[in-house]
């Protein structure tokens, strides 16, 4: 399928960064030069929830911190060989947790607000629900059997106002985000007196089906982790309001991507990466044990439980302000395209920059595609920017080769994308302007290492295991949790248990 055809079919497209190069804008933005300078040490505490302006209410990415804490999982017994994994597969581990505040409604589509994701797995029969009919008009979309509600706008969004009440329980406070799937609003739960986030899906048949599929996954997650041991989003409630599927989540803080953006894309420290990655790996590992693949792991889909921060003097940027998070607890969110092992696997999954080579080459995929995505995510934490910033599949493969070495010939032989291959090698013009871009922006993995400390060597060893072309050789998250890079986290858990 061509790049254009992929877009027309509604597949996920690459993320477009407001402050990063897209298309022909190849020069990397000089982020650190854009931050304000300060003349003294700053100790002011900043809360990431100022009164929202009208403009902020229309933004897709939202800053809503939570007052709730998060839980870490059970004690893991260390072992001599990190690849042995120890006894991580106890029945108590077949569980999961989470909460939600900042929902990116079309988060599997990088061009937020401009496209929808039709990559969700097939619905279970119990969730097929209402018969759909064409609502008429020129849009050609299918709405629920109730037809177009008087409370809907022309795009299928629910029309509401401050104080609007749904289910005689959830009172709208403000709009948090708008996307292709619908809107997210902050509500007061009148029954519990708590603030929650409610995802209001458009009254359009395809979006209702995607929402029901996500609900099925979230219900499974809730049932497997009733004691909230893993860092995944938890659905608190769901209901149908006049044809709009509404999903209720806890409020959380910023996504990691949005925090990076607001912090001028300053990278995280290795210690911060270790703390966040350990939580993420445990959560996604739990999904894998329960035969579920997320398929769209990226910084936008990992949220801080609370993104409050302190402003501090930053020596590395000549006195510029940097934001230091007060907590590194995170949650994995957005299960709209999560796929169980037994379900049909769409050929194209994941947001482009985090898409595994087997997906690009159309070789079929399994849970290992999540491992590749997380390898890219960790590199983004370390660099403060995306490792593979591209909008073209062949260029993407060329960037991989620059960072990781040649793609194994046996994988190129198996690909259905034979136009990517010439003489058992990637069909790539090394004299092209694209190759110049690749050479300018990519280098061998180990050369990204800033310091030759033991912890950085361990991090890059882990990354090399995750960014392995061959899924048969790629590390599993079960194994990754026993990598030496995470030894301090296991010791910490043992001390706290």
pLDDT digits (tens, 9 = 90+) for 241-257: 999 999 999 998 889 99
Nearest to 244 by CA among 176, 186, 180, 157: 157
Half-sphere exposure of 93 (CA within 13 A, CB side): 17
142-143 and 133-134 strand pairing: antiparallel
Average pLDDT over residues 271-277: 98
Q: What is the DSSP string of 57-89?
A: HH-SS-----S------------S-TTT--S--
Domains, in order of start, for the chain: 264-496 (1.10.510.10)
The catalytic site residues sit at 296
Q: Which residue has the tokens 């407001």?
A: 18
Q: What is the pLDDT of residues 365-417, one digit of tens each?
A: 999 999 999 999 999 999 999 999 999 999 999 999 999 999 999 999 999 99
Rounded CA gap, 416 and 19, in Å?
35
Residue 420 binned pLDDT confidence (cut-offs 50, 70, 90) = very high
The pTM of this model reads 0.72
Average pLDDT over residues 444-472: 97
Average pLDDT over residues 138-158: 66
Please give the pLDDT value at position 286: 97
Tell me if 461 sits within 8 A of 42, measured CB to CB.
no
182-189 and 194-201 strand pairing: antiparallel
- Decide which of 212 and 132 is more confident: 212
Please give the pLDDT value at position 30: 34
Tell me if 354 sits within 8 A of 376, measured CB to CB.
yes
Rounded CA gap, 19 and 220, in Å?
38
Enter the tokens of residue 308.
Answer: 């409050």
Backbone angles phi, psi at 368, to 5 degrees: -60, -20
Least confident among 2-6, 154-158, 186-190, 259-263: 2-6
Tell me if 427 sits within 8 A of 421, measured CB to CB.
yes
Average pLDDT over residues 160-176: 96
Enter the tokens of residue 417.
Answer: 């994308």
Average pLDDT over residues 24-33: 36
Q: What is the 3-state secondary structure (H, E, C) of 352-363?
A: HHHCCHHHHCCC
Annotated binding residue 324: no
Collapsing DSSP to helix, strand or coil, 440 comes out as helix
- Give the residues across from 177 on adjacent strands: 184
Q: What is the pLDDT of residues 328-365, one digit of tens each?
A: 999 999 999 999 999 999 999 999 999 999 999 999 99
Please give the pLDDT value at position 299: 97
Average pLDDT over residues 28-45: 33
- Decide which of 326 and 453 is more confident: 453
Write down the H helix ranges in 18-170: 54-58
Confidence check: pLDDT of 440 > 80: yes
Residue 192, phi-psi category: left (phi > 0), alpha (psi -120 to 50), beta (remainder): alpha
Q: What is the pLDDT of residues 51-91, one digit of tens each?
A: 334 343 333 333 333 333 332 333 333 333 444 444 333 33
Enter the tokens of residue 214.
Answer: 């996500």
Please give the pLDDT value at position 444: 98
């Amino acid at each position: 399928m061509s790049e254009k055809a992929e877009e027309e079919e509604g597949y996920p497209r690459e993320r477009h960064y407001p402050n990063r190069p897209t298309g022909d804008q190849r020069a990397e933005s000089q982020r650190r030069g854009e931050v304000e300078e300060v003349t003294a040490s700053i100790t002011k505490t900043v809360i990431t929830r100022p009164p929202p302006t009208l403009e902020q209410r229309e933004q897709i990415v939202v800053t809503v911190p939570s007052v709730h804490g998060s839980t870490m999982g059970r004690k893991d017994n260390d072992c001599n060989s990190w690849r042995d994994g120890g006894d991580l597969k106890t029945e108590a581990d077949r569980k999961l947790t989470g909460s939600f505040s900042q929902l990116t409604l079309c988060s599997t589509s990088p061009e937020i607000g401009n496209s929808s994701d039709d990559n969700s797995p097939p619905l279970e029969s119990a969730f097929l629900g209402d018969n759909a009919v064409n609502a008429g008009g020129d849009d050609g979309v299918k709405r629920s059997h109730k037809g177009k509600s008087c409370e809907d706008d022309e795009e299928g969004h629910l029309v509401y106002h401050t104080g609007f009440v749904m289910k005689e329980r959830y009172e709208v406070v403000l709009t948090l985000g708008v996307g292709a799937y619908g809107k997210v609003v902050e509500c007061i739960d009148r029954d519990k007196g708590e603030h929650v986030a409610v995802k209001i899906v458009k009254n359009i048949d395809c979006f209702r089906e995607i929402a029901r599929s996500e609900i099925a996954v979230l219900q499974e997650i809730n049932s497997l982790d009733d004691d909230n041991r893993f860092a995944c989003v938890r659905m608190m409630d769901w209901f149908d309001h006049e044809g709009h599927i509404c999903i209720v989540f806890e409020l959380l803080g910023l996504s990691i991507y949005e925090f990076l953006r607001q912090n001028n894309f300053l990278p995280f420290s290795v210690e911060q990466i270790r703390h966040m990655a350990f939580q993420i790996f445990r959560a996604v590992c739990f999904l894998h044990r329960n035969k579920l693949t997320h398929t769209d792991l990226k910084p936008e889909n990992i949220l801080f439980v609370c993104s409050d921060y302190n402003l501090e003097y930053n020596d590395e940027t000549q006195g510029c302000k940097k934001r230091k998070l007060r907590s590194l607890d995170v949650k994995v969110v957005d299960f709209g395209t999560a796929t169980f092992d037994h379900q049909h696997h769409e050929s194209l999954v994941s947001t482009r920059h985090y898409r595994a080579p087997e997906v690009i080459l159309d070789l079929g995929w399994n849970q290992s595609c999540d491992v590749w995505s997380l390898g890219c995510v960790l590199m983004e934490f370390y660099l403060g920017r995306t490792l593979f910033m591209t909008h073209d599949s062949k260029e993407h493969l060329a960037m991989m080769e620059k960072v990781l070495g040649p793609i194994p010939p046996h994988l190129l032989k198996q690909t259905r994308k034979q136009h990517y291959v010439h003489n058992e090698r990637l069909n790539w013009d090394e004299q092209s302007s694209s190759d110049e871009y690749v050479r300018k922006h990519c280098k061998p993995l180990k050369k990204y290492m800033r310091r030759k400390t033991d912890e950085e060597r361990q991090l890059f060893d882990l990354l090399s295991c995750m960014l392995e072309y061959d899924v048969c050789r790629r590390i599993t998250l079960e194994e990754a949790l026993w990598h030496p890079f995470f030894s301090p986290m296991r010791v910490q858990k043992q001390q706290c248990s």
